[in-house]
Amino acid sequence: MRKYIATIMVSFAIVSVTFFGATTTEGKSSDTYKQLNLFGDVFEKIRSQYVREVTDEELIEAAINGMLSSLDPHSSYLTAKNFDDMQVQTKGEYGGLGMEVTLDKGVVRVVSPIDDTPASRAGIQSGDYITKLDGEQVMGLTLTEAVGKMKGEIGTDIIITVVRKGEKEPFDVTLTRDTITLKSVRHRIEGEVGYIRISSFTEKTESGLLESLDKIKQELGENLQGIVLDLRNNPGGLLNQSIAVSSVFLERGEVVSTRTRNDEHVQRFPARKGDNINGKPMIILINGGSASASEIVAGALQDHRRAVVVGTQSFGKGSVQTVMPLGANGAMRLTTAYYFTPSGNSIQGEGITPDILVEQIRFDKSNQINSRRRSEGDLRGSLANPNGNSDDDVEPEDENPAGETESDNTEGDNGDDEARDGDKKTEKAPALTTAQDDYQLNYAINLLHGMAIARNVD
């Protein structure tokens, strides 16, 4: 019976295409039949002649994943295990090393380490390349396979081989896997300024933000001059959380809109009335690692003139993915819409342009950042900007990105276990360093002091 599986599968696909494509022309249907027959022929030849035996399940999953991943860098197939892992990660806890990664030229590139994790404690940096995992070459592995090897039982060790700009030779780093609790919001007081860092958008981000704001207001009271919201190296997360975070600082107005391929299907997401800090000045920090959901927040507050955006150009991921469960067979993540800022602009492939461009200065010349800008537009197969602003001459260099943590704009409450490539200049924003160690943060705080003074004079 096994040799008839391919024929049965193709026949079923033809029936499905005929049913759903009833309005297509006869010529188009004929072409579809030919392509499905071709698929069946290839499927059968692989099963019978490939150098090693592969299961029908492996081939079908690979075909589905290939079909999805060929569309754009963010559509993909999730096996049942990957789907379960994704749901666990979205809740803010998983086992692993703690870094967002992507695939670049066949090897793993670190987008950014997550705060207070084995990766960050070991000094792994944004822009590092991982070429070996426990001595096994990464080249030839899919990103899902590489990420799977980085995950494992808590307390077990893994040796990663790192290639870093400025280092003459690759070097090994031993990391001990740990429970990665994604505390996506942290805060501290800088003089009379509240500093809040959001590292990703999970189910707990809004509640964490409100908790941080309450503590800041309790400590500073009427002396609070304003808030610095740090979204640097934040690769994104849940769409509904980006809307909720924006709403915390807006009295009214649109946060974001999404549009499908049908121009009439426009969904608008308004802010809930009520600015939590009563109009006090705000600075938002972004850089090339700020992507997806973090760009929605920065774009919304910038367009409403609620905050001054400081830093460098963001990554430019302006699409929304919907996770569609497939029963016992996992799920598919499909790009279903573009998102637009309140002013009607798409940042797809371009990013958010800061109001004030401030580069991150490195006083140690051996650790200077790379001036090459890397963005969504560099990803192979990336979608064009729907406003027609993308540069079609960009030569894509990255493969389909994936990662160890959830970090995509995902419609609904389901998360995403693939991280976005968000490294613009291999900038590494220290998680909660002092302003004296962080030039961009120091600039933002001084600017906010000036804004507060001007506000009081008015």
For the annotated catalytic residues, the residue numbers are: 292, 303, 317
Nearest-CA neighbor of 96 among 405, 409, 302, 415? Answer: 405
124: which strand partners?
Answer: none
Contact between 310 and 341 (Cβ < 8 Å): no
Strands 129-133 and 107-113: antiparallel
Contact between 416 and 403 (Cβ < 8 Å): no
Cβ burial of 150 (10 Å; 0-12, 13-18, 19+) is buried
Sign (positive or negative) of CA dihedral 450, 451, 452, 454: positive
| Rounded distance between C-alpha atoms, residue 412 and residue 424, angstroms | 28
Which residue, chain included where needed, has tokens 């942290």? 186
| Long-range contacts at 323-329 (CB < 8 A, ≥ 24 apart) | 323/78, 323/83, 323/86, 323/410, 323/411, 323/412, 323/414, 323/415, 323/416, 325/83, 328/80, 329/80
Sign (positive or negative) of CA dihedral 413, 417, 418, 421: positive
Strands 193-198 and 226-230: parallel
H/E stretch holding 366: none
H/E stretch holding 148: helix 143-150
Q: Is 303 left (phi over 0), alpha (psi -120 to 50) or beta?
A: alpha
H/E stretch holding 15: helix 5-20
Q: In this structure, what are the phi and psi dihedrals at residue 353, rounded to the nearest 5 degrees?
A: -90, 120
- CA triplet 257, 213, 219: central angle to 5 degrees? 165
Contact between 106 and 400 (Cβ < 8 Å): no
